[in-house]
Chain A
């Protein structure tokens, strides 16, 4: 069973971990002005979590399409 994931998905997973955990990013969000009419910290958390969700769904679809799960 090929266990390697698509490089794009790997990059996306690493990107998610960095934006979710790196303190300078949430420090910056905490002092930023509102975005799209909403507090920046709320937009930050929603964006990170949408990205995490989308990456896992995309990983499954990508692995299924490549036959990596059969």
Chain B
């Protein structure tokens, strides 16, 4: 336990030294919330990966690969599809973000649909949906501490320790804001996805050459996907990938990555840098999980595959490193979630209805982060049997932002009535379906509740967009917004005065 916890302590001290050296600046809320849009491609790429792949990748998806096999690869497919989507929308979102000083995802909704209330509706959906995942992330850290304590800590004690560690880490998230998140993501990302990938490759080789494991030892069911006549339904994998790919950009802490880059070129270059790394990491993790599943100890506890194999292959030292890698991945996700939520509480909830100056916005953002950290820490220490169900439900709910978000970016016709009605109806439908048919809908051929609701959401958005015509003013305003993205950023700036006054939805 001294070795495993000692290695974690060394990592944490290095991280604190890095965080302490970061200059922090609160001259504007943009500086605090989006780091002054100052980050280049390498920081963007690592920050995206560190927020996107949480520590649960090693437990939940590593475990899924061990228990269920090749179906777990759907996570990689949708993780790469969302980068493709980023590449497609980077130009529009960044130019609008820079021109109108957008700081959060709901800011973009408010700009595009010129609605005061849509900002708060989108923020509430984002904040509520994010909390179960934050709590799950903290509990996953508890699982890690329990394993690394070699049985010395009970699960409750380990969860409390995990909460304390991640709570202490949030001191710097609250203090420095986005700059601290992105810079620490760079270090954490190198540890989690570069060192992590190298370790995974080493463990795969160990499994093959020392334990004699290969794919032929795995059951045939590990290589099949649900098709026609399967219990999951023929559209199950399609549904998982579609909702994953569209839903990825609905999470506020992912979307805000589009606002932290110092230009469109950096964003697009970050996509090109992130995808090879993302693919190597996830392929290594999933193949490792599948091969690890052949070990009898892993078959009994598939979600512990990362710890069991590391421990067997390299003893306590490698187990300690496995803990560091998982901790680095977890921190990136939790920090990003808390930072984005704090910014939304100040900017999109309080700031939407009260006139707040920069100092007040930053103060409320910090208080929001603090409150969220305390709330999540408290929830993580409770026994919540339905938490995972809530987290799944949250995903089905948050993807309902996808229709107004993507059609708002790529189609001029949408309006605020269509956006608010479609996402609200989609959210309610997803919740209703999930409550009445938990897990799967028997008549939907494997489509999840979120996918069915997405279809209804889409029909409503398109219908209302066509039925309720934009006013002449609104049409002109939207035309100008879209015209702006066909110009250079410099030319776009010249249109700010004509579009910006009417677009300032606040």
Contact = CB atoms under 8 A, between A and B. Distances in A.
Interface stretch (B109-117, B161-169, B219-227, B314-322): B219-227
Contact of A41 (B80, B225, B234, B283): B225
Contacts of B92: 3
Contact of A45 (B70, B234, B265, B271): B70
A69 B235 contact: no
Contacts of B238: 21-23, 26
B172 interface: no
A46 to B, nearest CB: 7
Contacts of A49: 73, 76-77, 80, 279, 283
A15 B242 CA distance: 15
B254 interface: no
B268 interface: yes
A54 to B, nearest CB: 9
Given A13-B84, A30-B227, A42-B223, A57 B486 contact: no
A57 B276 contact: yes
B225 A27 contact: yes
Contact of A1 (B84, B215, B242, B488): B488
A29 B268 CA distance: 32
Given A42-B70, A57-B276, A52 B489 contact: no
B490 to A, nearest CB: 9
Contacts, number: 108
Contacts of A23: 227, 234-235, 237-238
A32 to B, nearest CB: 10
The main secondary structure of chain A at its interface with chain B is helix
Contacts of B224: 30, 41
Interface string A1-38: 10100000000010011001111001101110000001
Contacts of B215: 38-39, 42
Interface residues of B, number: 42
A41 B275 contact: no
Interface in A39-59: 39-42, 45-46, 48-50, 52-53, 55-57, 59
B82 to A, nearest CB: 10
Interface string B72-89: 010011001101100110
A55 B84 contact: yes
A47 B70 CA distance: 13
Contacts of A31: 227
A3 B486 contact: yes
Nearest to B92: A3
Residue among A1, A22, A39, A59 with the highest chain B CB neighbour number at 10 A: A1
- Size band of the A side of the interface? 35 or more
B367 interface: no
A26 B76 CA distance: 15
B223 A45 contact: no
Interface in B61-112: 70, 73, 76-77, 80-81, 83-84, 87-88, 91-92, 95
A59 B225 contact: no
A56 B225 contact: no
A61 B275 CA distance: 14
Contacts of A55: 84
A45 to B, nearest CB: 4
Interface in B209-264: 215, 223-225, 227-228, 234-235, 237-238, 241-242, 245, 264
Residue among B81, B271, B486, B489 with the highest chain A CB neighbour number at 10 A: B81
Contacts of B264: 1, 69
B158 to A, nearest CB: 34
Contacts of B502: none
Contact of B225 (A17, A30, A46, A50): A30
B121 interface: no
A59 B87 contact: yes
A61 B265 CA distance: 11
B70 A60 contact: no
Contact of B237 (A26, A40, A42): A26
A61 B273 CA distance: 11
Nearest to A57: B272
B77 A1 contact: no
Given A49-B77, A49-B80, A3 B276 contact: no
Residue among B215, B225, B241, B279 with the highest chain A CB neighbour number at 10 A: B225
Nearest to A17: B81
A49 to B, nearest CB: 5
B485 interface: yes
B92 to A, nearest CB: 8
B269 interface: yes
Task: Return the 8 tightest CB-CB contacts between A and B, nearest first.
Answer: A60-B272, A39-B223, A45-B73, A52-B80, A69-B265, A30-B225, A27-B227, A53-B275
Interface of B: 70, 73, 76-77, 80-81, 83-84, 87-88, 91-92, 95, 215, 223-225, 227-228, 234-235, 237-238, 241-242, 245, 264-265, 268-269, 271-272, 275-276, 278-279, 283, 485-489
13 contacts: A1-B91, A3-B92, A20-B241, A31-B227, A39-B215, A41-B224, A42-B215, A49-B283, A53-B278, A56-B87, A60-B268, A69-B264, A69-B268
Given A1-B91, A23-B234, A42-B70, 6 more contacts: A13-B88, A31-B227, A41-B223, A42-B73, A56-B83, A57-B272
